[in-house]
Amino acid sequence: MLCLCGTLLRMSTAQGARARARTEVTAAIKDEARRQLAAEGAAKLSLRAVARELGMVSSALYRYFPSRDELLTALIIDAYDSLGEAAEAAYAKVRGESPARQWVVVCEAVREWGLARPHEYALIYGSPVPGYTAPSTTVPAAARVGLLLIGIVRDAHQDKGVAQWKLPAELRPEARRMAEDLAPDLPPAVVVVLIGVWAQLFGLVNFEVFGQFNRVVEDRETFFRHAAGQLAHHVGLVYPRSGATER
């Protein structure tokens, strides 16, 4: 036990030359893979090409990633983390401001991240590429943006309460379940709307990143800000200036 702890500690802090080289090569592989991903898309990402570009033979690459799909999942996790970081950074900049503004700013950060890296975005919010389901190792990284959005609503709720909708009876048990799992301190009705709005946000970003808005929406930034504001309104966050949109 203690011995194992010691080993782990030593490996993570003062790693030997070999271990360091390993992490460096691993990082180099992921970097080059990310470059190819950005250039050509996930479909054309090739292990051999990555190896070639790195000046090593393709079989050597399998010492670091047991398969192409494993490389891809590593990139997926990194992408989730990068997106989460971008969202959290945007959130940090508006910490003191109104919940609605925080919400819109985080949404815009997600959108901008996706527009800047369409292929990485496609990796995580497009169709799942490798097999069928993304391995469960991606779950924690994937949850970051969602948790951030929940946090914003939670703060607003603890502050002065959020407007909430009345749920139809058939949805109430499910709503209770979801609230218990995700945010026990929030009213079930809010959690239900939140989950829906979460998906809808990525619907908006998807359509823009994947070009479905081409020749439909022109001034997409303004449009998105408006839509994100409506989503905020929908989860009960109200703009201080009494609503940018109203009946």
Partner DNA sequence: GCACAACAGAGAGCACTGCTCTTGCTTTGG
Partner DNA sequence: CCAAAGCAAGAGCAGTGCTCTCTGTTGTGC
- Pick the binder of DNA from 59, 158, 212, 214 (CB under 7 A): 59
Asked whether position 151 contacts a copy of itself by CB under 8 A, the answer is no
Q: What is the DSSP string of 78-133?
A: HHHHHHHHHHHHHHHHTTTS-HHHHHHHHHHHHHHHHHH-HHHHHHHHSS--SSSS
Asked whether position 241 contacts DNA by CB under 7 A, the answer is no
Run of H or E residues at 53: helix 47-53
Estimate the crossing angle of helix 188-209 against helix 99-116, to 10 degrees: 30
Let me know: does 220 contact 207? Beta carbons within 8 Å.
Answer: no
Write down the least CB distance from residue 163 to DNA, Å: 50
Closer residue to a copy of itself (CB): 22 or 176: 176
Q: Which of residues 98-137 bind DNA (CB under 7 A)?
A: none
Asked whether position 46 contacts DNA by CB under 7 A, the answer is yes
Let me know: does 48 contact 93? Beta carbons within 8 Å.
Answer: no
Please state, in angstroms and as integers, the Cα–Cα distance from residue 117 to each residue in 100, 111, 114, 136, 144, following that order: 26, 10, 5, 23, 18
Asked whether position 1 contacts DNA by CB under 7 A, the answer is no
The number of angstroms, rounded, from the C-alpha of 188 to the middle of its chain's C-alpha atoms is 24
Which position has the token pair 């945010």? 183
What Rg do the C-alpha atoms of the chain give, in angstroms?
22
Let me know: does 129 contact 75? Beta carbons within 8 Å.
Answer: no
Asked whether position 9 contacts DNA by CB under 7 A, the answer is no
Q: Which of residues 200-219 bind a copy of itself (CB under 8 A)?
A: 200-204, 206-208, 210-214, 216-219
Stretch that binds a copy of itself, among 97-105, 109-117, 151-159, 176-184 (CB under 8 A): 176-184
Asked whether position 65 contacts a copy of itself by CB under 8 A, the answer is no
- The partner in contact with residue 134, picked from a copy of itself, DNA, none with C-beta cut-offs of 5 to 8 angstroms by kind, is a copy of itself
Asked whether position 226 contacts a copy of itself by CB under 8 A, the answer is yes
- Return residues touching a copy of itself (CB under 8 A): 41-43, 122-123, 125-129, 131-134, 142, 163-168, 170-171, 173-174, 177-178, 181-182, 192-193, 195-196, 198-204, 206-208, 210-214, 216-219, 222-223, 226-227, 230, 234, 244-247
